[in-house]
Amino acid sequence: MADPTRDILETFPNPYPQRDYSIETVCPEFTSLCPKTGQPDFGTLTITYVPDQLCFELKSLKLYLQQYRNHGAFYEAVTNTILDDLLAVTQPRSMKITAEFTPRGGIRTNVVVEYSGSSTQRH
């Protein structure tokens, strides 16, 4: 099965670029496969962003996320990859993704990644 691709993401023009405002999108039906065991993982993604010129279209976001259904991915990597893809496609003023995964082995993990508008990359 092909790797998930950001090409599937569609955008539409921000109807109100002259104002900073935020959009929060909650996706409680995210599922991928554990690359070590092949077992399914389940989680809820919460994407919050301040759009600049573009907003992502919800139906295409849904199809984009469904690409992970049969794709092996570690929690930390998949969350960072989704942020990278959404940044590349919408170039927002800022964006944050919180991924809450359901418990495995009695342990529950959340990952929070954020792009604050200026570079937070370490060199």
In the complex, which residues of this chain contact its own copies (CB under 8 A)?
14-29, 31, 39-40, 42, 51, 55, 58-59, 61-62, 66, 69-70, 74-77, 79-80, 102-114, 120-123
Shortest CB 115 distance to its own copies, Å? 8
Q: What does the block give as tokens for 35? A: 């690359």
Judged by beta carbon, residue 8 or residue 27, the one nearer its own copies is: 27
Phi, psi of 81 (to 5 degrees): -65, -45
Judged by beta carbon, residue 5 or residue 35, the one nearer its own copies is: 35
Per the CB < 8 A criterion, the answer to whether 41 and 33 are in contact is yes
Task: Return d(Cα 10, Cα 16) in angstroms, integer.
Answer: 18
Handedness of CA 59, 61, 62, 67 (dihedral sign): positive
Output the CA–CA distances (angstroms, integers) from residue 32 to 37, 49, 76, 79, 123, in the order listed: 12, 23, 13, 11, 31
Question: Is 27 in the active site?
Answer: no
Task: Return d(Cα 59, Cα 32) in angstroms, integer.
Answer: 19
Shortest CB 39 distance to its own copies, Å? 8
Shortest CB 56 distance to its own copies, Å? 11
Question: Is 41 in the active site?
Answer: yes
Point out the catalytic residue in the list 3, 7, 34, 85.
Answer: 34
Judged by beta carbon, residue 5 or residue 29, the one nearer its own copies is: 29
Shortest CB 72 distance to its own copies, Å? 13
Q: Could you give the residue numbers annotated as active site?
A: 34, 41
